[in-house]
Amino acid sequence: MDYDGNLSDEIAENFLNVCDFLRDVLPQEKFDEVEKVRSYFGRDDAVFEELLGYVKEKMTGYYRMTAIRKLETTSPDKVLFALEQILENFVFRYHPEFCRKKYKELGFAELQDLYDVAITLDSLVTFMVKCNYTKEAIKDAFAAITYLSDTTCKYLADEIDQNFEQQRMVVILNQLEKK
């Protein structure tokens, strides 16, 4: 029988369950659980590596926010200020020299760390505004995607909610420019 490109519902559901499981254990660094999944693939390590790569690709937001999670543990007093500056100078409005001039002052070890956080916040805000997320949904989405603390996710949700209409106009204008 030739493969026609369609998966049965059972196979598709099992695939999604494995992906969800990996998405849960990777941020918690439960590598023994990852190895258990790897063991189900037997000798075909390439297939598991492909699956792992797929899951990690879907976790880009998580990985790009590593510097903020690190800041939450090393300098928790700097986190909200850093996020406020990123929102004000990169997401809600834009200052071309912001990242280059401020990354060390904001507690980032590398310029790329600040870019990763800023680009991720910008993308997530745009997505959440396009989807018309409520404040609670914004907080929940940040928690699920980034694994930031509840305090940080609540702060982001509050700030985005306060600037929601302005961001909606930016999204609309950007969509009109594309036409």
Task: Quote the pLDDT of residue 114.
Answer: 97
Could you tell me the residue ranges of all domains in the chain? 9-58, 62-178
Residues 6+ positions from 147 with CB-CB distance below 8 Å: 27, 62, 65, 69
Reported residue count of the chain is 179
Q: What percent of the chain shows pLDDT beyond 90? A: 65
Task: Quote the pLDDT of residue 90.
Answer: 97
Q: Which tokens hold the place of 111?
A: 């310029």
Task: Quote the pLDDT of residue 47.
Answer: 86
pTM: 0.82
Q: Which tokens hold the place of 177?
A: 């420019």
Count Cα atoms within 13 angstroms, Cβ side, for 48: 13
